[in-house]
Amino acid sequence: MRSDVIEIRTGDREAVVDLTAQIDAFLAAGDGGDGLLHVWVPHATAGIAVIETGAGSDTDLLAALRDLLPADDRWGHRHGSAGHGRDHVLPGIVAPSMTVPVLGGRPALGTWQSVCLVDTNTDNPVRSVRLSFLAG
């Protein structure tokens, strides 16, 4: 198994960040074989999703999450910025990890699919993402 951590700067805004280029670089540094890539974000307020980016789906996802998880005072978890409790519910909806098959050293994603970090927590400007490859 091979593993590495990348840092992603999301700043002070909600973000869907495409990780596909970093994943491609991580896999290219290996032996080019088949296996499984595990993507893990070790944070209580972020998740990993496969989604199309650049055509509006990423902003649509953030809008849907705002509708589903409003940033208001309904949340029992109340530290941080207003409505921060919703950020702690996010990983129950957008899981903090996923596994992607790798074929010939490339993630076996569909034509329009990208692996993305989903982060609604504006209090945390930098995220770590662990990439782990298990050769088949």
CB distance 129 to 6 below 8 Å: yes
User: Can you list the domains of the chain with their CATH numbers?
Assistant: 2-135 (2.60.120.460)
| DSSP β-ladder status, 106-107 and 46-51 | unpaired
Mean pLDDT, the chain cut into blocks of 10 residues (136 residues total): 96 94 96 95 97 94 96 86 90 98 97 96 94 95
The pLDDT, as a whole number, for residue 128 is 98
State pLDDT tens for residues 91-116: 999 999 999 999 999 999 999 999 99
The pLDDT, as a whole number, for residue 77 is 85
Amino acid symbol at 62: L
For residues 51 and 98, give the distance between their C-alpha atoms in angstroms, rounded to a whole number. 13
Amino acid symbol at 92: G
For residues 92 and 69, give the distance between their C-alpha atoms in angstroms, rounded to a whole number. 11
| DSSP β-ladder status, 97-103 and 114-119 | unpaired
Specify the 3-state DSSP secondary structure of 66. helix
The pLDDT, as a whole number, for residue 117 is 98
The pLDDT, as a whole number, for residue 32 is 86
